[in-house]
Amino acid sequence: MPANAGFELRFQSLFHQGRAMAFPCDAEGHVDLDALSERARENYLYARAVVGREYAVPAVCHSQR
């Protein structure tokens, strides 16, 4: 399934309600790193690294885009 099939992996901020990082993914939450821009890839890797400290465990959601 292509990464842009209507799903996103959302990392919700633990401290700022309404603030989140979201990345296109498949229905299982797999993000195609090669399809991301350099900045988006850096943001994705950062969000993953700070789960539990700055962001909640990510959730697969229907894309809002």
**Tell me: the pLDDT tens digits for 7-64?**
999 999 999 998 999 999 999 999 999 999 999 999 999 999 999 999 999 999 998 7
Domain membership of residue 1 (yes or no) is no
Domain membership of residue 58 (yes or no) is yes
pTM for this model (two decimals): 0.85
Residues 32, 14, 38: CA angle, nearest 5 degrees? 30
Confidence grade of residue 65 (pLDDT, cut at 50, 70, 90): low
Domain membership of residue 54 (yes or no) is yes
Q: Structurally, how many domains does the chain consist of?
A: 1
The domain of 46 spans 7-62
CA 25 to CA 16: how far, in whole Å?
Answer: 23
Dihedral sign from CA coordinates of 48, 52, 53, 56: positive
Domain membership of residue 19 (yes or no) is yes
Q: Give me the DSSP letters along 28-59.
A: T----GGGS-HHHHHHHHHHHHTBTTTBPPPE
